[in-house]
Chains A and B, each alone.
Chain A
Amino acid sequence: ELKVEQNPLFLSMQEGKNYTIYCNYSTTSDRLYWYRQDPGKSLESLFVLLSNGAVKQEGRLMASLDTKARLSTLHITAAVHDLSATYFCAVAIGGATNKLIFGTGTLLAVQP
């Protein structure tokens, strides 16, 4: 059974600080996705990582993928309050069907 584990589950950080969210998964996959969810809202796609060593950056967020270690990271640089949300990683399995198996999510609260 595929397991996708995120840590931490909850992260409270001050504005201006840096931090990393980790996503470990238990089976072979070369496609990993990061989503953001604001309270009461649906999921918004942030990054798609399609190969080993892939790195994507958007603003203060940078995501990377190491398929050999089965690890993805989401790095937050100089956090701002607007980044407060829940972040999910999801691993794709199943070939053409491409089912996504989600991690438990990381609730990020950025304090002024």
Chain B
Amino acid sequence: DVKVTQSSRYLVKRTGEKVFLECVQDMDHENMFWYRQDPGLGLRLIYFSYDVKMKEKGDIPEGYSVSREKKERFSLILESASTNQTSMYLCASRVVGDNYGYTFGSGTRLTVV
């Protein structure tokens, strides 16, 4: 089974801190994605990467950046955390040409105080 591992289950950070959320997948998937999940809003796409060093903005990229230096790892960076970035963050991956959707990580619940 494909595994998508998010390094932290819970994080508490202070306003203004630089925050790194890490995601690693173990099945050589080309595409990786970062979503945030908020009650009543579903999942919203922040950034995605279709291969190493390639990235594209999703629907809500403001306040975020990403890094993909190796195929298995996709990092989400909050340059200066703010309270409105308190949310559940979900990472996902898929292989190109696979119609069977995404494999999701277990999520990181980030609280910015």
Contacts and interface: CB of A to CB of B under 8 A. Distances in A.
Interface of A: 4, 6, 9, 31, 33, 35, 41-43, 45, 48, 50, 88, 90, 96-105
Given A88-B42, A99-B48, A48 B100 contact: yes
A105 B48 contact: no
Interface of B: 31, 33, 35, 40-45, 48, 50, 56, 58-59, 90, 94, 96-97, 99-107
Nearest to A96: B96
Contacts of A102: 35, 42-44
A82 B18 CA distance: 40
Contact of A41 (B48, B50, B100, B106): B106
B101 A103 contact: no
B101 A100 contact: yes
Contacts of A101: 45, 59
Contacts of A33: 101
Contacts of B40: 9, 104
Contacts of A48: 99-101
B43 A88 contact: yes
B38 to A, nearest CB: 10
A42 B90 contact: yes
B99 A42 contact: no
A45 B103 CA distance: 8
A104 B97 CA distance: 26
